[in-house]
Structure 1
């Protein structure tokens, strides 16, 4: 039994080790292999217990029958020998019983005694190998079989596309020539942008100290530039969250709703008055909007926040942005003497963008996004909305940018030095920008956010040590493979919603971890034309990646 256990554990280790070494297998089964290992260990324990019970039963049977044999032998010795035939029959019966009670010794006897366990062990290995082949080999199969095409749809790519993938030297050389110069000064620029916006917010707080309006909180940089993977135009464009909270005697309450597409989630910020009678009596610096009556006019005091910033009782996005843009102009007048650039606010109703023009001709674009925090998490409802969704002025789309920024920041803190995960995303974004249509035309289906989502999933599935610089080509292949498989299956799950592997250090609402996963490719299930276009875009990107060593530098995005 000890030998069977040793062989079982050894073969299981070899099988599972092969899964971990292979990149293709590891991406699909890393989460399942742990559960399978626990199940196999439990089954092994049950088999050991069953074998021990059977051994004890056989020993007990032998112990019961042995005294009977001794009694028969004594009885035969005391009896008189009646005839020669009876003696022969007695000897034959004893020999027959001896053969039944004794077992053959040696390897043959061991195999016969453990035949059942060996057969079960062989069946398990056969089943395991067949299961792995059935689950993983067809992921990128380019077979022309009609039944395969009916079940999986249009194949995204072929199995041979990785054969002539660029080597590490080619990828490093391309990155140094095209991307390294644009990202060298990005961290210091991001630090300046955050400090500048903080300066403006402090000036706004001074100007509006005596007025009842949303309170501005400390800002937070988000997006590609602050996540250190921005390239090209992203190196000049920065996005900053400016959280707002309710002023005294008011509170914000969120009402959730989901758009028809099922992907965009919005919240409506309901403004409610709070009782501050105790503060009114003690300090007299506020007026209770719930219980204070104006005896001269015979009515309740009006809520300035509701009348100036709301539609009904719901905080209006456009009214809040209009107030914020107006107060920013006055705040700039207080701090302009500290800086040597010109600030301008291009006219807009749905956004608040700042343009910083230096004397050298350099410029920076800063998009300020007002945000309402959801509970104590890093999930916000923001003041900007995607253009393709028809939202009203009281809809605040849900944003996970702060959570994703924190996750990538933690990865950078605990990962080995000079990891390649951001380089992979930068190269993909750069190649996508080379073929991006002008603004206003039909935009591509695949965006850098889809590849960023694939990267974040892989960062959870693979150890951080697997993102060392020398593994640059393999990890770039993994990202493309992960998204290509998602296109083929028309399924790419949101990184934060329904992700049970999400670290507890990422502050998200409690129901997020147990929620049903959200498919970012759900619209591709409903629109075959969009899916075909996305597949074409993916094929073009793979072709660009494979031609990186010879890609002309004239298409650089500065």
Structure 2
């Protein structure tokens, strides 16, 4: 019965967890299979070592105890013969023993005794297989008129468009003619931008007052140019993150706040005063009159100047912080202007701090300085910049993952083989999207380069880095398009950092990120069918552009 129960549980597990396979390899299944293969290989190696160890011990034991066992066995045989002669069985006793041993023995007897259980098990197994087949047919059945009406124009990922995908030579030729020259000088420009902003921050630190002003930390370049895939307009537009820390006698505490609508995660920065005197901080038996001055006093209190000048209530205000930062940058430029041969201007704005660097040759650079408050010890920041379509209050700081993503792509470039194609894939997609981008102010596209970047980062975790060699350029570009197309069809594209159990431990994120519920970047497409249809159309147009690269005929509408 124990064997029957074990077989029943094993077969039920297989039946309930059947894996549906298609003509195309599923990337998630491929990743799980490779991980399982590694675990099984390691287990097999451990079992082989254990088996060899046990065999060696058994041989040693037999070599020692075998002579003794032979001598003992002979002695037992002599004793048994003597006992048989003394206690010979009678005919009646022979009949009794014969009656007790009647009945079939071995496997046949076991099968006859469990025939009823085996029959029930077989019937249940046939029923489960039949039910699974019925579910499989219903899942892929498209004969219903209602289903055809619902899915018309929304089928995104099919195999029909993969047959005439661009070849290696066509993609390399297109990249060399349109993108290679635009990205050649990008690393040196990014290095200059970071050094220039650091120079401005050092001047701001000299001008600022440590007790009443937020402290500016070393800057960090983020976004496409610093990740080495920026093209077109990104080649002269840069975003630089400037971390903020609390001044002396104050501390920042972060509160997460989910907006009522939209996917944007944001938080609020609570400013609290704290005493820096050692006796009160360590012993707590004396009240410091300097740092606990009554803030209602007419003389004022330096410790509370941060709240009065930078806060709304007890929360750090985005607009007040940006206004102070813009004035500090303007004053700092006056101290360092003699080092540079360009003109710096700050276009008026309440919601941002943008710098325009104009050279005598007519060339210019745009630098967007973004203030950020670090979350715990991670590279996640609450920043001063929010998307234009999001309506937030002045105390809401949107959560930014740009620094974490920058670090991940930097690590991939460090450990990947030379001249991998992952950034080239993203550059071609971004370039083709920019060709049909509407002017600023009109309806912006649903699909953005960030969505394709998210798909790329997921694939970088699921595929070995050796699969991104230059000669696999077409296959990897095809995989990125297929991954995003499948996400559009399912209206699901998970955030790369939140709820991703495959995320490397070298990426510093908050502790609860890896175990959190995944965030769907396409959740708004579930609620808005018109937006989903527009996104599918944009994806179709992008695939058409890819297939009509130089050297290939335009095949019109795909899929």
Is TM more than 0.5 here?
Answer: yes
Query: Alpha-carbon deviation of 1:28?
Result: 2.5
Q: Distance in 1 between matches of 2:346 and 2:490?
A: 44
Relative to structure 1, the CA distance from residue 502 to residue 296 in structure 2 (aligned partners, 3 Å threshold; closer, same or farther) is closer
Q: Which moved more, 1:495-504 or 1:34-43?
A: 34-43
Query: Alpha-carbon deviation of 1:286?
Result: 17
Contact 1:251 1:272 (C-alpha < 8 Å) held by counterparts: yes
Aligned length: 558
Structure 1 length normalisation: TM-score? 0.76
Query: Alpha-carbon deviation of 1:17?
Result: 20
Contact 2:249 2:291 (C-alpha < 8 Å) held by counterparts: no
Q: Distance in 1 between matches of 2:119 and 2:66?
A: 32
Relative to structure 1, the CA distance from residue 477 to residue 294 in structure 2 (aligned partners, 3 Å threshold; closer, same or farther) is closer
Q: Distance in 2 between matches of 1:491 and 1:276?
A: 49
Any idea what the Cα deviations from partners look like across 1:303-344, whole Å, max 9, x if unmatched?
Answer: 110011111111100000000001111100111111110000
Any idea what the Cα deviations from partners look like across 1:77-99, whole Å, max 9, x if unmatched?
Answer: 99999999999999999999999
Q: Distance in 1 between matches of 2:44 and 2:125?
A: 13
Query: Alpha-carbon deviation of 1:156?
Result: 1.1
Query: Alpha-carbon deviation of 1:163?
Result: 0.3
Structure 2 length normalisation: TM-score? 0.76
Any idea what the Cα deviations from partners look like across 1:383-419, whole Å, max 9, x if unmatched?
Answer: 0111111100000000000000000000000000000
Query: Alpha-carbon deviation of 1:449?
Result: 0.2
Any idea what the Cα deviations from partners look like across 1:251-282, whole Å, max 9, x if unmatched?
Answer: 00111111223521111111100012349999
Q: Which moved more, 1:34-43 or 1:437-446?
A: 34-43
Q: Which moved more, 1:132-141 or 1:184-193?
A: 132-141
Relative to structure 1, the CA distance from residue 104 to residue 362 in structure 2 (aligned partners, 3 Å threshold; closer, same or farther) is farther
Contact 1:499 1:517 (C-alpha < 8 Å) held by counterparts: yes
Contact 1:343 1:356 (C-alpha < 8 Å) held by counterparts: yes
Contact 2:250 2:303 (C-alpha < 8 Å) held by counterparts: no
Q: Which moved more, 1:12-21 or 1:298-307?
A: 12-21
Q: Distance in 2 between matches of 1:333 and 1:52?
A: 78
Q: Distance in 1 between matches of 2:542 and 2:499?
A: 29
Contact 2:212 2:302 (C-alpha < 8 Å) held by counterparts: no
Relative to structure 1, the CA distance from residue 195 to residue 89 in structure 2 (aligned partners, 3 Å threshold; closer, same or farther) is same
Contact 1:352 1:367 (C-alpha < 8 Å) held by counterparts: yes
Query: Alpha-carbon deviation of 1:212?
Result: 1.4
Gaps in structure 2 of 5+ consecutive residues: none
Q: Which moved more, 1:146-155 or 1:447-456?
A: 146-155
Query: Alpha-carbon deviation of 1:32?
Result: 3.3
Does the residue aligned with 1:25 lie in a helix, a strand or coil? Answer: coil
Any idea what the Cα deviations from partners look like across 1:83-136, whole Å, max 9, x if unmatched?
Answer: 999999999999999999999999999999999999999999999999999999
Relative to structure 1, the CA distance from residue 453 to residue 122 in structure 2 (aligned partners, 3 Å threshold; closer, same or farther) is farther
Relative to structure 1, the CA distance from residue 283 to residue 185 in structure 2 (aligned partners, 3 Å threshold; closer, same or farther) is farther
Relative to structure 1, the CA distance from residue 522 to residue 100 in structure 2 (aligned partners, 3 Å threshold; closer, same or farther) is farther
Query: Alpha-carbon deviation of 1:19?
Result: 12
Contact 2:270 2:314 (C-alpha < 8 Å) held by counterparts: yes
CA-based RMSD of the aligned residues comes to 9.0
Does the residue aligned with 1:381 lie in a helix, a strand or coil? Answer: strand
Q: Distance in 2 between matches of 1:87 and 1:140?
A: 77
Q: Distance in 1 between matches of 2:470 and 2:153?
A: 36
Q: Which moved more, 1:103-112 or 1:444-453?
A: 103-112
Relative to structure 1, the CA distance from residue 64 to residue 13 in structure 2 (aligned partners, 3 Å threshold; closer, same or farther) is farther
Any idea what the Cα deviations from partners look like across 1:197-233, whole Å, max 9, x if unmatched?
Answer: 0000000101114661100000000000000000000
Relative to structure 1, the CA distance from residue 115 to residue 335 in structure 2 (aligned partners, 3 Å threshold; closer, same or farther) is farther
Contact 2:454 2:495 (C-alpha < 8 Å) held by counterparts: yes
